[in-house]
Amino acid sequence: MRKEIVWAIVAGILFGLVITFGVVRVNSTLKPKGESTTPSSTPESAIPEFKIALNKPENEDVIIQDSVAVSGITKPNALIAISGEEGDYILKSDEKGLFEEEVDLISGVNQIKITAFDPTGAQSIEKVLVVYSSAFEEKEGDRLEKAANKPKAYLGTVTDITDSTIQIRTTSSEIRQISVGNDTSVVKTDPTSKVVKLTDIAIGDFIVAMGYKNGNQVLSAQRILITPAVTEPKISVTMGKGADITPTKNTSVFLFKDGKVTKAKATSIEDESQVIYVTTEEAEKSSIRTIFLI
């Protein structure tokens, strides 16, 4: 009798295990593939990265006016400092992240740096290079044609020359081809600007060629500048406190309030003032060029 009771208990346990195992298998089969039983969390890669997407100008555009509209999109309500060759600007992106500012240009190569700060203080940087030449003559055509084939600039060191072509190596070591002809004007900018001949261009010269690209990415040059090599300017833009900075007599100070920029005095900077300041470095000596009181 006792043996029968023991076997009944054992059989009951085994039957329960079989039923439990079957339920688990059925649940795993019905559950969507890849579904986790643990709570899901947003991976870091899904978090949007803080970036600046420029709309205009495009890199290596040739501009025939003495200013250019710099526009793009970034995070909403970001503070944006734009640094040109000789001046700095500040603005705020709108609720959609859009921004636009007119930036003055100098003759020749202009390197523009755009620095954005989001409300948390995080920073994002974008750069663009354009060439301003009032002497460059755009091709005649309608608006659509001009938009499809804008004048461009090729910059680099001459590595080879023939009667009709010039080959250059860019600062990023890219090889580019330039076609030239009798109508190509050449100007040597150092020490003073003067018109020279095509034959005055030599291997090793740094040139800025302006013209239109064909389908093979060969630039048909209308105008060429022989100029000192272009190097990236040492400009840094920082957000900080008034206690962090020491302005000089050459430092420009501005107040940025309610979307408007007004001239201010260095004496208005207090230790706890929130500032964005632009530092430049020349001949291994750094100085603050511009301070914006926020």
Q: Per residue in 21-42, pLDDT tens?
A: 444 443 444 344 444 444 444 4
Q: Which amino acid is at 87?
A: G
Q: Which residue bears the tokens 């009667």?
A: 163
Residue 5 pLDDT exceeds 80: no
In this predicted model, what pLDDT tens digit does every residue of 47-77 receive, in sequence order?
A: 568 999 999 999 999 999 999 999 999 999 9
Is there a domain that residue 84 lies in? yes
- Tell which of 226, 255, 285 closes a domain: 226
CA distances, 178 to each of 16, 47, 154, 193 (Å): 84, 43, 8, 22
Q: Rounded to whole angstroms, how far apart are CA atoms 30 and 273?
A: 61
Is there a domain that residue 9 lies in? no
Is there a domain that residue 6 lies in? no
Same domain, 130 and 152: no
Is there a domain that residue 274 lies in? yes
% residues pLDDT > 90 (the chain): 76
- Tell which of 201, 226, 251 closes a domain: 226
Q: Rounded to whole angstroms, how far apart are CA atoms 212 and 283?
A: 36
Give the closest residue to 79 by CA, choosing from 87, 70, 69, 89. 89
The two three-digit tokens of residue 240, written as one number? 């900080």
Q: Domain count of the chain? A: 3
Residue 159 near residue 167 (C-beta atoms within 8 A): yes
Provide the CATH number for the domain around residue 115. 2.60.40.10
Same domain, 220 and 242: no
Domain containing 184: what range? 147-226
Question: Residues, the chain, total?
Answer: 294
Is there a domain that residue 140 lies in? no
Provide the CATH number for the domain around residue 157. 2.40.50.320
Same domain, 112 and 165: no
Same domain, 111 and 151: no
Give the closest residue to 107 by CA, choosing from 145, 87, 143, 134. 134
Residue 282, pLDDT score: 84
- Tell which of 79, 109, 134 closes a domain: 134
